[in-house]
């Protein structure tokens, strides 16, 4: 029995603003081709099909196209919902989709309802455990409020069903964080009561456990002979913490005794992820030498300049056009908060106080030009007419706002408010100067439709 194990597609996700949907669609085309060429019996998708509960329409279209491809190739697909998915939306039409070989497992009621496939050695039962939020399912499963408890209850149902059917080879797809797995920055925290993981021992006795949620491919020890527990990882990188991952899907083969061997099939990489660190001028000076490895990559740059340089992203993208992230980690320690407070308490000069803010936000003291701007603005505030409103403040070079004439001011005072006006039309006609408002003709509200005498309003 050959299975393709994949998870964490996160259709609709972006990488720091970069749209990944075209690359995700290319991956799904590649996945179908791999399933056909390796003559797999089924594809198992362990959750997080979409990136959010209400996916964008184009992500739904990509999934629809992919599933039609597997149905046309007559390759069964079992899909569980992950913590990013809406179980109800993903599971819509599940009984109908089974006629096409797409088996959706998104509810507690379907945990012990397997997809049964056969090879030359007999039957294999494939079960799907959706992401189980303890607060939502513990009553249905008779479990306690923890991930370990609800998963243990779910696998107990699966073991009982397999035993009742007399099937010894069992596969379970589950979306969970298993103790000992190595996470990355792009997985959503699923902790409940401060605990987000569950021991792999809850899966003891099963043949193969196809896990989703963790984005790095890895095996996890179940502590039980004959049970293989594995994360296939996400097919694409979703954060720069995954830049060293070797993205893949898992090809799992189950022999007649339920023993499992696995192989990794490397997924297409749209662009490598790279991170560079240093002062901006130094990075740009050696950019040409590094261009071969960075010009075509998605790049994260960490600048160590003591003061933020001008227009750093624009200058970096001239060399490395796919720079996505710009972080600052200035060399030398910034002043501590206690030191800042002491300096602020000793200062009575508003210019100096604003200068401290500039230093805090930029990593270095305000230069002469910045000090001059601060001084001009503060002096303009200090010397303005106290009868002016804050919005009337005129900075150097700004065009003065035109004030209403005495006659206009008198007219404004005479105009009635809505409560005093005889009608809305009268209030609108007098609400502002004639050049500020549309006329009744310009508004062109439609006339209300006439109703037959004695007609009644329609029911809401």
Tokens of 37: 């060429």
Q: What does the pLDDT read at residue 194? A: 53
Q: What does the pLDDT read at residue 363? A: 67
Tokens of 207: 């043949």
Q: What does the pLDDT read at residue 172? A: 97
Q: What does the pLDDT read at residue 351? A: 75
**pTM of the full structure:** 0.69
Q: What is the mean pLDDT of each run of 10 residues along the chain (460 residues)?
A: 96 93 96 97 96 93 96 97 93 93 96 96 96 91 91 96 96 88 68 70 93 91 85 94 93 95 95 93 82 83 91 92 92 56 55 78 79 75 49 40 48 50 52 43 45 43
pLDDT per residue over 15-48, tens digit each? 999 999 999 999 999 999 999 999 999 999 999 9
Sequence spans of domains, the chain: 2-266, 273-328, 337-385, 407-442
Output the CA–CA distances (angstroms, integers) from residue 348 to 34, 343, 458, in the order listed.
Answer: 71, 10, 70
* CATH T-level assignment (fold) for domain 2-266: Purple Acid Phosphatase; chain A, domain 2 (3.60.21)
Q: What does the pLDDT read at residue 291? A: 63
Q: What does the pLDDT read at residue 69? A: 96
Strand partners, 79: 45, 104
């Amino acid at each position: 029995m050959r299975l393709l194990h994949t998870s964490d597609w996160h259709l609709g996700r972006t990488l720091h603003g970069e749209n990944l949907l075209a690359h995700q669609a290319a991956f799904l085309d590649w996945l179908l081709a791999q399933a056909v060429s390796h003559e797999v019996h089924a594809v198992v998708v362990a959750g997080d099909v979409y990136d959010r509960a209400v996916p964008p329409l184009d992500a739904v279209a990509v999934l629809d196209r992919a599933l039609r491809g597997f149905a046309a190739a007559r390759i069964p697909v079992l899909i569980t919902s992950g913590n990013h998915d809406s179980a109800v939306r993903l599971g819509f039409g599940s009984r109908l989709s089974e006629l096409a070989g797409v088996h959706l497992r998104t509810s507690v009621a379907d945990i012990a309802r397997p997809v049964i496939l056969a090879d030359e050695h007999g039957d294999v039962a494939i079960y799907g455990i959706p992401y189980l939020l303890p607060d939502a399912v513990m009553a249905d499963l008779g479990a306690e409020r923890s991930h370990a408890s609800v998963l243990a209850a779910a696998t107990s149902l699966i073991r009982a069903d397999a035993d009742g059917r007399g099937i010894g080879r069992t596969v379970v797809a589950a979306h969970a964080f298993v103790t000992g797995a190595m996470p990355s920055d792009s997985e959503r925290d699923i902790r409940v009561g401060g605990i987000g993981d569950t021991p792999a021992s809850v899966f003891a006795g099963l043949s193969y456990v196809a896990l989703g949620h963790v984005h790095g491919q890895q095996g996890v020890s179940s502590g039980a002979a004959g049970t293989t527990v594995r994360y296939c990882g996400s097919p694409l990188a979703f954060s720069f913490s995954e830049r060293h991952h070797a993205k893949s899907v898992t090809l799992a083969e189950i022999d007649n005794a339920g023993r499992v061997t696995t192989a990794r099939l490397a997924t297409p990489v749209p662009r490598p992820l790279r991170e560079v660190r240093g002062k901006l001028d130094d990075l740009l000076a050696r950019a040409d030498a590094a261009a071969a490895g960075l010009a075509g990559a998605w790049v994260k740059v960490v600048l160590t300049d003591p003061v933020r340089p001008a227009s750093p992203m624009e200058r970096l993208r001239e060399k490395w056009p796919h720079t996505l992230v710009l972080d600052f980690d200035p060399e030398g320690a910034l002043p501590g908060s206690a030191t800042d407070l002491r300096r602020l308490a000793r200062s009575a000069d508003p210019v100096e106080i604003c200068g401290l803010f500039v230093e805090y936000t930029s990593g270095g003291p305000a230069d002469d030009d910045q000090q001059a701007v601060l001084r001009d603005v503060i002096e303009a505030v200090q010397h303005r007419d106290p009868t002016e409103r804050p919005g009337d403040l005129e900075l150097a070079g700004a065009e003065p706002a035109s004030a209403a004439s005495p006659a206009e001011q008198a007219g404004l005072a005479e105009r009635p408010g809505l409560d005093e006006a005889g009608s809305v039309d009268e209030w609108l006609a007098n609400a502002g100067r004639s050049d500020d408002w549309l006329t009744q003709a310009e508004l062109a509200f439609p006339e209300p439709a006439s109703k037959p005498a004695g007609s009644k309003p329609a029911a809401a």
